[in-house]
Amino acid sequence: MKNTGIWIDIDNAYIVSIENENETFKTVSSNIEHYKAHGGSGTKLKGGPQDVIQDSKYLEREKQQLKLYFKDIASQINDTNALVLFGPADTNEKFSKELHKHYNSLSTKIKGVEKADSMTENQVKAWVRDYFKSN
């Protein structure tokens, strides 16, 4: 029985797999570009010159990069029997939705989607061990 826990945020995913008391730990980087809008007009006057920012272009690019990130993670957990997703913000929930939408065989193995703060590698390993011992 192979149990897998994934701590995931927008930058990295830490994959902890436990099989027959043996642990493996992998890090997957997202390579998602962080977009920050910043104007260069130099005026704060109402009605002054303003920069036109193409938000939709950047959001679409981020969405495509997120899909590639999720695909990379999914390819590394194909052989798991049970899966728990945890992490800050909502990236874990987005990944869960992506699994339900495009990776049905993996989505049936999800045992939980939990909120968790930023953690060190050892804290992630301990969290996954504790989760599967208690469930």
Q: For the chain, list the domains and their CATH numbers.
A: 2-32+55-134 (3.30.420.60)
Q: What is the pLDDT of residue 2?
A: 96
pTM (two decimals): 0.85
Q: 7 and 14 in contact (C-beta within 8 Å)? A: yes
Q: What is the pLDDT of residue 49?
A: 57
Helices 91-102 and 55-76 cross at an angle (nearest 10°) of: 70
Distances (CA, A) of 90 to 87, 113, 114: 8, 10, 10
DSSP collapsed to 3 states, the chain: CEEEEEEECCCEEEEEEEECCEEEEEEEECCCCCCCCCCCCCCCCCCCCCCCCCHHHHHHHHHHHHHHHHHHHHHHCCCCCEEEEEECCCHHHHHHHHHHHHCHHHHCCEEEEEECCCCCHHHHHHHHHHHHHHC
Q: What is the pLDDT of residue 34?
A: 79
**pLDDT tens string 18-74:** 999 899 999 999 999 877 665 555 556 566 555 566 778 888 999 999 999 999 999
**pLDDT tens string 83-135:** 999 999 899 999 999 999 999 999 999 999 999 999 999 999 999 999 999 98
Q: What is the pLDDT of residue 30?
A: 95
Q: What is the pLDDT of residue 9?
A: 95
